[in-house]
Amino acid sequence: MATPLRVLIHGGGIGGLTLATALARCGHRVRVAELRGELDALGVGIIQPSNALHVMREIGVLDACLTAGFGWDTLTICDPVGNTLAKIPQPRMDEAPASLGIPRPALAAVLGAAATAAGAELTFGTTVTELADDGDGVDVTLADGSTGRWDLVVGFDGIGSPLRKRLYGGRFAPEYTGFANWRVTVPRQPEVQGVLMSTGDRTAKALLTPITEELMYLGAVFAEAEDFRPDPERAHEQLAERLAAFGGPVAEALTEVTDPAAVVYSRISQVTVEEPWHVGRVVLAGDAAHASTPHLAQGAAMAVEDALVLARSLEEEENVPAALAAWEARRRPRAMWVQNLSRAVLKQETGTPTTPEEDELLKIGIPGAAHVLVQPY
């Protein structure tokens, strides 16, 4: 489309800021409406696999990410006491490392600065309160009282997406998997030069992920009741109890975990929107449309791929409806493949029975998935 579009992005997380940057760099008028009061993020890290790094290169922030994070090319598998069982080289895209660990607040800062520099308007502490799509445009009122007419509204508003509820009612709510993730940032041990995956008995796994020269995070998944919440006074002890079978680097990392408030607890859910991801000129993307379990570390990678491909579809197609259809045709199969394999890996690792379809998917495994996902998206 030759004409600059007016695009409202609901949600200034990883996907929303990537889309804002990509669109503003093409000359479109972009506003991001973010509920939080400022550009912040959970105080733990995130893995950017090679396909996410490729998107970062395309929107001009790869060097900033590499400076803020810690790159690696090899996945190390250990036994529970830290003896190395395997070192698995990971595929690269271009010259970037195969993967990068980065603190989430640092990634938010990089993407926020890029979106602003490209000309996008970031607004905080606000949300959509009214929305009316007449087929040619969408009239929106925000909580701050401002009104505007947009060619496209994009819901990059996360797994709990209020826009999804507005479009589909309760039909595609997050489905709790029965498992939750515990994460905490600790000093990086010198030998942790890439993800170190330590597998205990059939149902226990701990990951150490470097995110800077100085820091790494410890992550682990356990079965938890849906209404369980860690005790604010002793979350660090509850995590240590769950990881009692581990020695080596995991046990050493645990000795650094002394503040219960530093432990981040997230229930693992997934979302599958089984109808088209757009209704008229309002579209869902990233976690709002297809949140996965984190077992391939691909949720944010899918969100940033969604963002870049959406920006390109809007450039290539004649009009907004055609762009949304072309975009979804390209994105849905890959996002669903990631979701299905991620869920299958969760089941395999936690001893949950799998279906024949999941057994078929699991033949590829985590290292094989990296080789599939390094292919163009």
Ligand X SMILES: Cc1cc2nc3c(=O)[nH]c(=O)nc-3n(C[C@H](O)[C@H](O)[C@H](O)COP(=O)(O)OP(=O)(O)OC[C@H]3O[C@@H](n4cnc5c(N)ncnc54)[C@H](O)[C@@H]3O)c2cc1C
**Both tokens of residue 21?**
């940057």
Q: What angle do CA 137, 58, 291 make, to 5 degrees?
A: 65
**Both tokens of residue 96?**
């970037």
Say if CB 338 and CB 292 are below 8 A apart. yes
Other Cβ atoms less than 10 A from the Cβ of 375: the count is 10
Say if CB 3 and CB 27 are below 8 A apart. no
Helix (H) or strand (E) holding 335: helix 320-350
Where does this chain touch ligand X (CB under 6 A) — which range of 44-52, 188-196, 197-205, 250-258?
44-52
Considering the complex, state which of residue 47 and residue 314 has its C-beta at the smaller distance from ligand X. 47
* Closest-approach residue to ligand X (CB): 13
Considering the complex, state which of residue 251 and residue 264 has its C-beta at the smaller distance from ligand X. 264
Contacts (CB under 6 A) with ligand X, residues 91-130 = 127
Q: Is 174 in the site for ligand X (CB under 6 A)?
A: no
Among 54, 62, 114, 157, binds ligand X (CB under 6 A): 157
Q: Is 11 in the site for ligand X (CB under 6 A)?
A: yes
Q: Is 156 in the site for ligand X (CB under 6 A)?
A: yes
- Distance, CA of 222 to CA of 243 (rounded, Å): 10
Q: Is 297 in the site for ligand X (CB under 6 A)?
A: yes
Q: Is 35 in the site for ligand X (CB under 6 A)?
A: yes
Among 8, 106, 300, 341, binds ligand X (CB under 6 A): 300
Query: What number of chain residues touch ligand X (CB under 6 A)?
Result: 31
Contacts (CB under 6 A) with ligand X, residues 211-270 = 266
Shortest distance (Å) from residue 231 CB to ligand X: 19
**Helix, strand and coil in the chain, % to nearest 5:** 35, 25, 35
- Distance, CA of 3 to CA of 251 (rounded, Å): 58
Contacts of 33 (CB under 8 A, 6+ apart): 8, 9, 10, 11, 12, 123, 126, 127, 128, 142
Q: Is 15 in the site for ligand X (CB under 6 A)?
A: yes
Other Cβ atoms less than 10 A from the Cβ of 117: the count is 13
Shortest distance (Å) from residue 310 CB to ligand X: 12
Q: Is 142 in the site for ligand X (CB under 6 A)?
A: no
Considering the complex, state which of residue 55 and residue 254 has its C-beta at the smaller distance from ligand X. 55
**Both tokens of residue 147?**
């009104």
Considering the complex, state which of residue 176 and residue 247 has its C-beta at the smaller distance from ligand X. 176
Q: Is 286 in the site for ligand X (CB under 6 A)?
A: yes
Q: If we measure between CA atoms, which residue out of 125, 113, 137, 111 comes closest to residue 8?
A: 137
Helix (H) or strand (E) holding 16: helix 14-25
Considering the complex, state which of residue 12 and residue 194 has its C-beta at the smaller distance from ligand X. 12
Considering the complex, state which of residue 10 and residue 236 has its C-beta at the smaller distance from ligand X. 10
Say if CB 217 and CB 210 are below 8 A apart. no
Instruction: Give the footprint of ligand X on this chain (CB under 6 A).
Output: 10-16, 33-36, 46-47, 52, 127, 156-158, 162, 181, 266, 286-288, 294, 297-301, 303
